[in-house]
Amino acid sequence: MPPAHATLPPRDEMLRAFMASDTSYEGLFYTAVRTTGIFCRPTCSARKPKPENVDFYRSADDALAAGFRPCKRCRPLEVADAPDWVQRVLDEADRVDRRWSDAMLTERGVDPVRLRRWCKQHLGMSFHAWVRSRRLGRALGSLRDGESVDAVAFDHGYESSSGFRAALGTTFGANAAALRDATPLAYRRLVTPLGPMLAMAEEAGVVLLEFLDRPALTAELEELTTRYRYAAAPGDHAHFDQLARELAEYFDGRRQRFDVPLAPRGRPFDRDVWRRLLDIPYGETLSYGELASDVGKPGGARIAGWACGRNRIAIAIPCHRVVAADGALTGYGGGKARKAYLLELERGATRVFATPT
């Protein structure tokens, strides 16, 4: 699963990549120039500064928090998707079930170390771990369809059923019999102007949509596995296509409410709070105290805030629309800067569009 934090490449390596506008480092770091107060993508075509004036940040959010402004030329807030050299390998690995070696990657002109670093940053795991998890995700679906363990192992390229059973235990923490009763949960990385997000979905709808750097993400994933008996693996789902499209429309100011099916998992009080969040009008806010009163807990601003914090479906269930009694932007897991951005986006779009689209 994606980590809460990721490390930067060595400074000398980042400096070389930035000076050369190396496209293979897109998304791995952001470059900030102290003399101009501006931060850029690694591939920015603007005139290069002196090395001693350059700082590096893991994310655009970190650069913003440090007081730097986004470059108008390379537009670092418009986060790039996988570069072509990465996408080609991911597509091939997705089409064919096989075990990959570093030698196979080198034959395709791909540096295994660079690919591993990109995958750790954006997928939360190494390329080889992603391939293994992808194969197991497909196999899990076959198990739930009633196929035998031996048949599933053979169909998905495992050399033996014992090896397949061991892989299931390592990845999902359960044996094949237990996983027949688990609910498959597909996940995919989605690109947004505020950074990459992790989306997870089952047939009932989207279960999770979180920024990859959210500190509570690891605990949320563990709860989905232990309390709600999900078995997560990278995979495709029709909900992801709809969610990605609606997110793009939202960030363009053309969507005020999400239509993609949602399947939030939580306690009864939490679900009451989340339903009320969905009713907060686009472009408006509600205080935590008002939220508590609306769900039958007057004086319970703190517990209403905790319920907002347990919301695993950011943006679509708009907990960013809840603020302190004095209007302060507190209590958002994605960070104060993102909360401010989302509220300003909605207020600006409300001034332009009189009715929902």
CATH of the domain at 298: 1.10.10.10
Residue-range definition of the domain harbouring residue 297: 250-352
Instruction: Let me know if residue 2 belongs to a domain.
Output: no
Instruction: Let me know if residue 65 belongs to a domain.
Output: yes
189-228 pLDDT, tens digit each: 888 877 778 888 998 999 999 987 777 887 887 788 778 8
Same domain, yes or no: 25 and 48: yes
Instruction: Let me know if residue 205 belongs to a domain.
Output: no
pLDDT confidence tier of residue 3, bands split at 50, 70 and 90: very low
pLDDT value of position 340: 86
Please state, in angstroms and rounded to a whole number, the distance separating the CA atoms of residues 297 and 131.
47
Mean pLDDT score, 96-115: 87
Instruction: Let me know if residue 96 belongs to a domain.
Output: yes
Tell me: pLDDT of 7 over 70.
no
More confident residue, 28 or 296: 296
Same domain, yes or no: 57 and 86: no
Indicate the number of domains in the chain: 3
Tell me: pLDDT of 96 over 80.
no
Mean pLDDT score, 266-270: 93
The whole-chain average pLDDT of the chain stands at 79
Domain end (from 162, 181, 200): 181
Q: What is the CATH number of the domain that holds 66?
A: 3.40.10.10
pLDDT value of position 2: 30
Same domain, yes or no: 144 and 65: no
End-to-end CA distance of the chain: 35
pLDDT value of position 335: 81
Same domain, yes or no: 55 and 92: no
More confident residue, 187 or 343: 343
pLDDT value of position 334: 82
pLDDT confidence tier of residue 118, bands split at 50, 70 and 90: confident
Same domain, yes or no: 15 and 89: no
Instruction: Let me know if residue 241 belongs to a domain.
Output: no
Q: What is the pTM of this model?
A: 0.59
Tell me: pLDDT of 165 over 60.
no
Q: Select, from the ranges 36-45, 48-57, 323-332, the one with the highest average predicted confidence (pLDDT).
A: 48-57
pLDDT value of position 6: 46
Could you please report the per-residue DSSP string of 211-278? ETT-TTHHHHHHHHHHTS-EEEEE---HHHHHHHHHHHHHHTT--SS--S-B-----HHHHHHHHHHH
Domain end (from 159, 181, 203): 181
Domain end (from 135, 166, 181): 181
Mean pLDDT score, 149-156: 43
Tell me which of 231-240, 285-294, 324-333 is least confident: 231-240
Q: Which long-range contacts (CB under 8 A, 24 or more apart) does 115-121 make?
A: 115/86, 115/89, 117/9, 117/28, 118/24, 118/27, 118/28, 118/82, 118/83, 118/86, 119/86, 120/3, 120/6, 121/6, 121/27, 121/28
Instruction: Let me know if residue 267 belongs to a domain.
Output: yes
H helix count then E strand count, the chain: 15, 10
pLDDT confidence tier of residue 38, bands split at 50, 70 and 90: very high
Q: Is 12 exposed, middle or buried (0-12, 13-18, 19+ CB in 10 A)?
A: exposed
Catalogue the active-site residues. Answer: 40, 319
Same domain, yes or no: 47 and 86: no
